[in-house]
Amino acid sequence: MKPATEARPDGVTERRRQVVLAGHAGDGDRARGGLDDDEPSVRASALGALDRLGALHEDDLRSALCDPSPAVRRRACELAATHPGVAVVDALGDDDSSVAEMAAWSLGERVERTAVPALVAMASMGSGHSDPLCREAAVAALGAIGEPSGLAAVLGALDDKPAIRRRAAVALAAFEGPSVDAALHRCLEDRDWQVRQVAEDLLADG
């Protein structure tokens, strides 16, 4: 009978374990060695270990953003949230949706206003990203940044899928004006109860 899951390649689990432990034990050399491992999971763990040690360099992240593995690129985008000197806007166009989604999250965490046009383009239901999770992440980032030029995209997201509409309703808290008030009142009639609840809460707070 075939096992439910196949064993990982010989030595990979142990190499990854050693890299993770190095991040907790202060062993920067071992952690950095993991960046050159053949296994993507080890390279991704090495990035995290170096970050824990305060030894992650911006060039490490720049190299990881070009890694052939989506798992490594995704981890690099995540860690770049606290490394604003590393450009991640281009990762919004990554072929792997999970990388693009993480890039949007990172830009929102950094409150990177220069990324707003690219996030607006991703958030659009008609011409934006085909993956709803990416559109949702872009809308969330626009709310986190709160740049007025991102408002139209957030308002447009109120016609998207339920999860994205919920995210857009939350994002409206970062904006103000008649169009925002009108949108919140429209949300009170949304088919999704969570969208309605967000609108109720925001209108009550206002």
Determine the pLDDT at residue 124.
Answer: 87
The rounded distance, in Å, linking the Cα atoms of 185 and 205 is: 14
Arithmetic mean of pLDDT, 4-17: 70
Is residue 106 classed as helix, strand or coil in its secondary structure?
Answer: helix
On the 0-12 / 13-18 / 19+ scale of CB atoms within 10 A, 186 is middle
Residue 128 predicted with pLDDT over 90: no
List pLDDT tens digits, range 33-65: 999 999 999 999 999 999 999 999 999 999 999
Residue 130 has pLDDT above 80, yes or no: yes
Cα dihedral angle (27, 33, 37, 42), rounded to 10 degrees?
20
The pLDDT value recorded for residue 5 is 45
CA distance 178 to 185: 11
Q: Is the pTM of this model over 0.85?
A: yes
d(CA 32, CA 52): 12
Mean per-residue pLDDT of the chain: 93
Cα distance between residue 143 and residue 120, in whole Å: 11
> What is the distance between the alpha carbons of residues 166 and 194, in angstroms, rounded to a whole number?
7
Contact 143, 167 (CB under 8 A): yes
pLDDT on residue 9: 46
Which pLDDT belongs to residue 4? 47
Which pLDDT score, from 0 to 100, does residue 206 have? Answer: 63
